[in-house]
A and B are shown apart, each in its own frame.
Chain A
Amino acid sequence: MPEPTPEPTPAPRAENPFAYSPAPQSASVAALAPSYGLFIDGEFRPAADGRVFKTVAPASEEALSEVAEAGQEDVAAAVAAARAAFPAWSALPGAERAKYLFRIARLIQERSRELAVLESLDNGKPIRESRDVDLPLVAAHFFYYAGWADKLEHAGFGPRPRPLGVAGQVIPWNFPLLMLAWKVAPALACGNTVVLKPAETTPLTALRFAEICVQAGLPRGVVNILTGDGAAGAALVAHPGVDKVAFTGSTAVGREIARTVAGSRKRLTLELGGKAANIVFEDAPVDQAVEGIVDGIFFNQGHVCCAGSRLLVQESVAEEVVAALKERMRTLRVGDPLDKNTDIGAVNSAAQLARISELAAAGEAEGAERWSPPCELPETGWWFAPTLFTHVSQAHRIAREEIFGPVLSVLTFRTPEEAVAKANNTPYGLSAGIWTEKGSRILWMADRLRAGVVWANTFNKFDPTSPFGGYQESGYGREGGRHGLEAYLNA
């Protein structure tokens, strides 16, 4: 069958009369304060030793605020506060806990634009995503788990499931408030109290969330927020007063945390890295597959643990798909995260930019072919153009290591068996994508892919009711849905 082969359209795109004017979302709704304290026992306070650090806008490299840096003493104080709050909070009827969580969900909805702007400022992600993806999911997550608080005995974890105690939670910078929601909502619903440490580079929305807890009238000590660096996170994880550790972040740190809690009675769930295969068959709905590939790797600048960073495309359509993908990549708009038309924002930190740059350079050095659409990157801030590597083999570093940036490696396969073998050929196992119009093949593939989430004819979809989490070195435990309760119950 002669398929129409999409070639680059002959029309020149350079002289586009329909160039979009800047459409900036005002930053003022974020209402930044010059400095923020730690949130311990219902109050904001400076670090015990008075240390502070600056949080920086990745798009401008300008300091946004000064934030208290938690030390050992602060960790101890926060754990003590959570410990003290635990008996009353866990004894509260589930229906009462539910009402607090419903309040939080509503307050987040009310303040969602403010939170979205703050998130985009601090993280660098496009406002379109923080506004249309992150914040709606954050509110939905609290709303969902609120409803569980008085139904735990029906969740399948025994007739009288009990909370674990104090949950120490450490979250990453890629979805700061969403990861907070994934951690805090089920923990509170199950009757635990929480000490949460947001990522060093993205502390602001967690602190704004602390204000929301105050507005919701949440009893003091039930939620405590400690800003700081990895040392604060390590201290929290190691603290003997913590009963449950939940971490989302890199596999390297996850491994370290697993070692730290070894031999203790602390329960542990880990949401770690990935190197997902996005598998495109020759009978795929090509246009939607191209969208799915773009969404899979360029969503959130590729700072996504479940990013479809390996495109496995059937050799018979590889040229066509790559050509269409390149055409599509030309229309991606990279720039100011607060511009409502931005598709790809800033890389979160200089360190992450260095890591992406290093791996991309390795890809070139190993012989893969590098391509990016022409795009003008801003002069200040940390940026990385959307990048495609073709002629990649399984042995290349860019096919094996998590890049956590807008870099896609394209590999080919001939048969479904080969696709499965290549997709599974990684120590990770977080997610996978399948694109084909043939239903039985989707199910056959889905059975065989070692991945906690399989998106068929779609990608990067999330929902509070849908369990998320990985196989193998992508971590253990699930977040979301009924399954997400298990991590916070003595089941």
Chain B
Amino acid sequence: MPDTATFPGPGASNAAWRAFLHGLPGVDAVGLQERAARLGTRSIKESAKGFAIDTAISMIDLTTLEGADTPGRVRALCAKAAGPEPTDRSVPRAAAVCVYPDLVGTAVEALRGTGVAVASVATAFPSGRAPLEAKLVDTRAAVAAGAAEIDMVIDRGAFLAGDYLAVFEEIAAIREACGDAHLKVILETGELVTYDNIRRACWLAMLAGADFVKTSTGKVAVNATPANTLLLLLAVRDFLAATGRQVGVKAAGGIRTSKDAVKYLVLVNETVGPAWLTPRWFRLGASSLLNDLLMQRHKLRTGSYSGPDYVTVD
């Protein structure tokens, strides 16, 4: 078993962090994108498609993160997550419903007994620009209200300023505040810009105790892409090999069609393999994706195309 003490940890200097993170293998952007694009040409048909669609549904963190969110809206979403297709009980339920902290209670109540988890964003989502104390309060409130999963954002400013220790310590502190709740660490890859940065931030998050690493908030111009998700998958693969600890990956933002979702599952399948092909280890953060998956599922089962009037709008 690899010795985790060989990695920097709490109290390590920024110089030590820098030496470690910048010593990770570089990422060639073109090569990474090309690999992701090529995997995107896989042709997933018939039973494989059926498996992929149902698996994708079961991996969805059905998300609503709007200023206009209301208890009613959240309850509707919860109903959809627990039974995506009212007339067809064979449709799997979604993995979780993801809301702002103040609506966690509503979601917990609506989902009791459904097996659908409640996830809450925290730490001054989406910008992360708040004092650590506020972020901790944010997190504890969500956990106390019953959130089983916390989606935190990293301090991209600190990361880009080279203050890796601050990023590490903040994640570690939130991890502690989560208690039994799972911690998903949002890297906001669109703001880290380079793949080298993304890999480094990913390692920082994993070493700080992330249960999941997550691409994006969905609130910036570039969210999940096949390439940045592939990169996270390679990082969790390497982390497992190095530490023996498996970390999950969540691709969030911009995944709207079944075709896209299947491509993400292909990425998982051909890089980290079946060990990640469950909602326990891979999630899709999305909202409109679910209906497209349901329509495709209908097509696959009946041979005829469905339409938006035949799936529920929530």
Q: State if A and B touch, Cβ cutoff 8 Å.
A: yes
A interface residues with partner B (beta carbon < 8 Å) = 1-7, 9-13, 15-23, 128, 132, 283-288, 291-292, 331, 340-341, 437, 457-458
Give chain A residues whose Cβ lies under 8 Å from the Cβ of B270.
Answer: 331
The answer to whether A9 touches B272 (Cβ under 8 A) is yes
Q: Which chain A residues border B241 with CB–CB below 8 Å?
A: 4-7, 9
Complex CA distance for A16 and B46, rounded to whole angstroms: 16
What residues of B have a CB within 8 angstroms of the CB of A20 in the complex? Answer: 42-45, 48
- Contact among B2, B48, B274 with A15 in the assembled complex (CB-CB below 8 Å): B274
B7 to A2, Cβ gap below 8 A?
yes
Nearest CB of chain A from residue B136's CB, rounded to whole Å: 30
Instruction: Tell me the residues in window 25-57 of chain B with beta carbons closer than 8 Å to chain A beta carbons.
Output: 25-28, 30-32, 34-35, 41-49, 51-52, 55
B71 within 8 A of A: no
Asked if B269 CB lies within 8 Å of chain A CBs, one says yes
Whether A23 contacts B31 by the Cβ 8 Å rule is: no
Q: Provide a sorted-by-A list of 30 A–B residue pairs whose CB atoms are within 8 angstroms.
A: A3-B23, A3-B24, A4-B2, A4-B238, A5-B242, A6-B241, A9-B240, A13-B274, A16-B274, A17-B51, A17-B274, A18-B51, A18-B52, A18-B55, A18-B274, A20-B45, A21-B45, A21-B46, A22-B45, A285-B25, A285-B26, A285-B28, A286-B25, A287-B234, A288-B27, A288-B32, A340-B41, A340-B42, A341-B43, A457-B30
How many angstroms from the CA of A5 to the CA of B1 in the assembled complex?
11
Question: Distance (Å) between the CB of B238 and the closest chain A CB?
Answer: 4
Q: Do the beta carbons of A288 and B238 come within 8 Å of each other?
A: no
**Smallest CB separation, B275 vs chain A (Å):** 3
Within 8 A of A (CB), among B183-235: 234
A284 with B48, Cβ < 8 A, contacts A1-B20, A341-B43 known: no
- Does B273 belong to the interface (CB within 8 Å)? yes
Q: Chain B nearest CB: distance from A137 CB in Å?
A: 16
Give the dominant DSSP class at A's interface: loop
Residues of B in contact with A (beta carbons under 8 Å apart): 2, 6-7, 19-20, 23-28, 30-32, 34-35, 41-49, 51-52, 55, 234, 237-242, 265, 269-270, 272-277
In the bound complex, residues from chain A placing their C-beta under 8 Å from that of B2 are: 4-5
Contacts of A132 in B (CB 8 A): 41
Contact A283 B26 (CB under 8 A): yes
B20–A291 touching, CB < 8 Å: no
Instruction: Please tell me which one of the listed residues B26, B52, B239 contacts residue A437 in the complex, with CB atoms under 8 A apart.
Output: B26
Q: Which residues of A contact B6 (CB under 8 A)?
A: 2
Contacts of A7 in B (CB 8 A): 241
The list of the 6 closest CB pairs from A to B, nearest first, reads A11-B275, A288-B31, A23-B43, A1-B23, A4-B242, A340-B43
Question: Which chain B residue lies CB-closest to A16?
Answer: B274
CB closest chain-A residue, reference B47: A21
Q: Quick check: B48 and A19 within 8 Å, CB to CB?
A: yes
Q: Which chain B residues border A19 with CB–CB below 8 Å? A: 48
Picked from B41, B238, B272, the residue with its CB within 8 Å of the CB of A128 is B41
Given A9-B275, A17-B277, 15 more A-B residue pairs with CB atoms under 8 Å apart are A3-B25, A6-B241, A9-B237, A15-B274, A17-B274, A18-B265, A21-B46, A23-B44, A128-B41, A284-B26, A285-B25, A287-B31, A291-B31, A341-B42, A458-B31
Set of chain B residues within 8 Å of A3, measured between Cβ atoms: 23-25
Compute how far the CA of A23 lies from the CA of B48 in the bound complex, rounded to whole angstroms.
10
C-alpha gap A381/B276 in the complex (Å): 35
CB proximity of A105 to chain B, nearest CB, Å: 23
* B199: min CB distance to chain A, Å: 9
Bound form: Cα–Cα A18–B56 in Å: 12
Instruction: Note all chain B residues with C-beta closer than 8 A to A11.
Output: 272-276
CB nearest neighbor in B for A287: B234
Closest Cβ of chain B to A443, distance in Å, is: 16
Whether A285 touches B41, Cβ cut-off 8 Å, given contacts A10-B275, A18-B48, is no
Q: A5-B241, A23-B44, A288-B32 in contact; A18/B19 too (CB < 8 A)?
A: no
Tell me the complex Cα distance, A447–B61, Å.
Answer: 52
A32 to B149, CA, bound (A): 59
A10 to B240, CA, bound (A): 9
User: What residues of A have a CB within 8 angstroms of the CB of B275 in the complex?
Assistant: 9-11
Q: Determine if B27 and A285 form an interchain contact, defined as CB atoms under 8 angstroms apart.
A: yes
What are the residues of chain A within 8 A of B31 when measuring CB–CB?
A: 285, 287-288, 291-292, 457-458
Distance, CA A246 to CA B42, complexed state (A) = 37
The smallest C-beta distance from B260 to any residue of chain A, in angstroms, reads 16
Give A348 Cβ to nearest chain B Cβ, in Å: 23
Min CB–CB distance A292 → chain B (angstroms) = 7
Write out the residue numbers on chain A whose beta carbons fall within 8 Å of the beta carbon of B273.
Answer: 9, 11, 13, 16
What is the CA–CA distance of A9 and B23 in the complex, to the nearest angstrom? 22
| Among A4, A11, A128, A284, residue most surrounded by chain B Cβ atoms (within 10 Å) | A4
B202 to chain A, nearest CB (A): 12
Contact B269 A6 (CB under 8 A): no
Give A15 Cβ to nearest chain B Cβ, in Å: 7
**Contact, CB under 8 Å: A287 / B27:** yes
Nearest Cβ distance between residue B8 and chain A, in whole angstroms?
A: 10
